[in-house]
Amino acid sequence: MTDGPRIAILLATLVAMLAAACGPRRIAGPSRPGDGPSRPGDEMIVLLRDSEGGTIGRARVSNPSGSTDLAAARDATQVAENEPPGPANTLSEADVQRIFGGALSALPPVPRRFTLNFRFESNELTDESRALLPVILNAVKERSVPDVVVIGHTDTTGTPEANFALGLKRAMTVRNLLVEAGLDASAIEVTSHGERDPRIYTADGTPEPRNRRVEIAVR
Amino acid sequence: MTIPRWVIVLTLVLASTTPALSQEPVAAGRIKVASGSAFIVRESKMIPAQVGHVVFVADGLRTGADGRIGVTLKDDTRVSLGPGSEVRLDRFVYAPQDGRLGLVLKIVRGVAAYVSGQIAKLSPDAVRLETPAAIVGVRGTSLAIRVEP
């Protein structure tokens, strides 16, 4: 994180404070969202576009008096105790930064997930998966305090116990590749979900190459 | 659903006689961003928050007038606080291999941002954000919340 955005926020805050102190008193007129006379306990909740992928989720804000749905980017509702949440209105980008910038600027980097596949009945990665290793290493090196979790998975052929062990073996294979490539071993957590966390749901005893995989979470 | 009385009694007895078991801290994530006055509130103690510190279930996070904190949980959920803020991680369960998932985050005051992770993706109803005046249910999303002190 550079100081640029922080200074920008600081400047924006100062300018806002000066404007409030020196500017003409507003007696009436449209106030900006979140500017109104805020009472203790007043709340504002805003839906935001996801930083990765740019998709927009949904949120429902409710209390015993009612509920409001937020469905579009920067949709916001204001809530006070013992009153239903206010109707959704859309904030400007500038309002979002002005009101929530202090928290948004402290969000950690976007976590990344990678899936590595194995050649059939083998501990060898497929060529495509092998090509992902440098990308994974870069994602780790970008972070100041990286968490790396390597999780082994299997299909449903064989017993759950044997599959737990096989998943762990696959995860260790990948861990060793990452350590060989220069990653600090103490930063890597290795675990197995065996056959219990499939990518594709199947009946027991079903061979399914897409479930024979190792997932790597980089946070 | 009713819980048999003996289960409640047994639970209470176990809880009162085995404090080490009942208070076993569950690691939920790590602090990735911390600046200014920033604290972890753990069993009513204020611990200065530093980048790399582990955050446990039931921990609170608190910032002073110049503080900021950013946390990434084990399911990729991200939570951050601006200045003068407090949130508490009331519940965090991430065991997808056992089908056990849950996240309850209480925003006590100030400004906070939430970006959903795997729990919201696998089981949206298992995620609940609480403020003093409302409850927020999410469908895979990013939110920001302000609570006037």
ipTM field: 0.84
Confidence of residue B19 (pLDDT cuts 50, 70, 90): very low
pLDDT surpasses 50 at B16: no
Confidence of residue B92 (pLDDT cuts 50, 70, 90): very high
More confident residue, B137 or B139: B137
A13 Cβ partners below 8 Å, 6+ apart? none
Strand-pair category, A188-194 with A148-153: parallel
Measured between beta carbons, the chain B residues lying within 8 angstroms of A42 are 147-148
How high is the pLDDT of residue A119?
A: 79
How high is the pLDDT of residue B145?
A: 97
Question: What Rg, from alpha-carbon coordinates, does chain B have?
Answer: 16
How high is the pLDDT of residue B8?
A: 52
- Provide the shortest C-alpha distance from residue B52 to chain A (in Å): 6
How high is the pLDDT of residue A11?
A: 52
* Contact assignment for A99 to B116 by CB distance below 8 Å: no
d(CA A144, CA A126): 30
In this structure, what are the phi and psi dihedrals at residue B74, rounded to the nearest 5 degrees?
-65, -15
d(CA B16, CA A199): 42
Confidence of residue B7 (pLDDT cuts 50, 70, 90): low
* Residue A164 C-beta-side C-alpha neighbours within 13 Å: 4
Ranges of chain A with pLDDT below 50? 1-2, 14-15, 18-30
Instruction: Output the DSSP codes for A113-178.
Output: EEEEEB-TTSSPBPHHHHHHHHHHHHHHHT-SS--EEEEEE--SSS-HHHHHHHHHHHHHHHHHHH
In chain B, positions 80-139, which contact chain A (CB-CB < 8 Å)?
80-83, 85, 96-98, 110-113, 115-117, 131-139
Check if the beta carbon of residue A214 is closer than 8 Å to that of residue A150.
yes
Residues A168, A170, A174, A176: what is their CA dihedral angle, to the nearest 10 degrees? Answer: 70
Residue A12: other Cβ atoms inside 10 A: 14
Check if the beta carbon of residue B33 is closer than 8 Å to that of residue A219.
no
d(CA A68, CA B16): 42
